[in-house]
Amino acid sequence: MPKNPPESMQDHLRHRLNVRAKERWPQLARVQVRFRSGFAYVAGELPGEEEPLPLCRLRFTGVLHTWGFALYLAS
């Protein structure tokens, strides 16, 4: 089973995604990132909404600035 990135990389990714989201999508309250089995699941939180919106999944490749990317499809 693939391993999650170290805690420092997880914090860096969370920070980087939230900063980028504030620049590009000001309507998002924040970006939520959870890690499981080598993947980072990214969801956006809208103000006043209870459920976060799934956005994408990132695959940890072992390098901080290189991640695999898969867009979330509702189907």
Q: What is the pLDDT of residues 20-64, one digit of tens each?
A: 999 999 999 999 999 999 999 999 999 999 999 999 999 999 888
In a domain, 21, yes or no: yes
pTM of the model: 0.90
Q: Is residue 15 assigned to a domain?
A: yes
Q: Is residue 2, in this structure, part of any structural domain at all?
A: no
Domain enclosing residue 65, as ranges: 7-51+61-71
Instruction: Compute the Cα dihedral for 19, 23, 24, 27 and give only its sign.
Output: positive
Q: Is residue 32 part of a domain?
A: yes
Going by pLDDT thresholds of 50, 70 and 90, the confidence category of residue 75 is confident
Count of structural domains within the chain: 1
CB-based contact 39:59 (threshold 8 Å): yes
